[in-house]
Amino acid sequence: MRILRFASVAALSLAAASLAHAKSEVCHATSDKQIAALFDRWNASLQTGDPKKVVANYATRSILLPTVSNTPRLTPAEKLDYFEKFLQLKPFGTIDSRSIEIDCNTAIDAGLYTFKLGDGSMVKARYTFTYKWTGKQWLITSHHSSAMPEKT
């Protein structure tokens, strides 16, 4: 009787493990080129001048550590507040160098970029974007940007 109970428990454990594996996350296939295009999507949203279109690139639960503000932006409203001000500068970003890493439904794009502003000035900065696949689209879960510390 004990052997039979043990076998039943083992069979249930195996069945539970199989079910858990069947429910495990399916990784969305992507490429470096597709992840790089997410910056282009974000930059294009800057060009619209509409802060709501920029904020639409961010997951609801995300953090923005912006270039020209000391305040971390956690909520969509806080990000909207930042981009309302930042877009007045008429920024256009270009990637100077980057490194992309892709994992299961997450990706990191980090490197250096330059913003040309409407007044002709330029801001060189370091950046990191992390993205998460939502099942429908890639959204930014964290965005850190900081001006280069050394003047060249």
Examine residue 26 and state whether it is found in any structural domain, yes or no: no
- Sheet of 92-103: strand order equals 58-65, 138-147, 122-133, 106-116, 92-103
Examine residue 20 and state whether it is found in any structural domain, yes or no: no
Q: What is the pLDDT of residue 7?
A: 46
Which positions of the chain have pLDDT values less than 50? 1-15, 17-22
Examine residue 10 and state whether it is found in any structural domain, yes or no: no
Q: State the total domains in the chain.
A: 1
Average pLDDT, the chain: 89
Domain containing 45 — which CATH number?
Answer: 3.10.450.50
Q: Which amino acid is at 121?
A: S
Cβ pair 115, 123 in contact under 8 A: yes
pLDDT tens figures, 13-27:
444 544 444 456 799
Which residue, among 142, 152, 3, 115, has the nearest Cα to 59 in the 3D structure?
Answer: 142
Examine residue 80 and state whether it is found in any structural domain, yes or no: yes
Examine residue 16 and state whether it is found in any structural domain, yes or no: no
Q: What is the pLDDT of residue 93?
A: 97
Q: State the SS3 of the chain.
A: CHHHHHHHHHHHHHHHHHHHHHCCCCCCCCCHHHHHHHHHHHHHHHHCCCHHHHHCCEEEEEEEECCCCCCCECCHHHHHHHHHHHHHHCCEEEEEEEEEEEECCEEEEEEEEEEECCCCCEEEEEEEEEEEECCCCEEEEEEEEEECCCCC
Percent of the chain whose predicted confidence (pLDDT) is above 70: 84
Q: What is the pLDDT of residue 5?
A: 44
pLDDT tens figures, 51-69:
999 999 999 999 999 988 9
Domain range spanning residue 121? 31-147
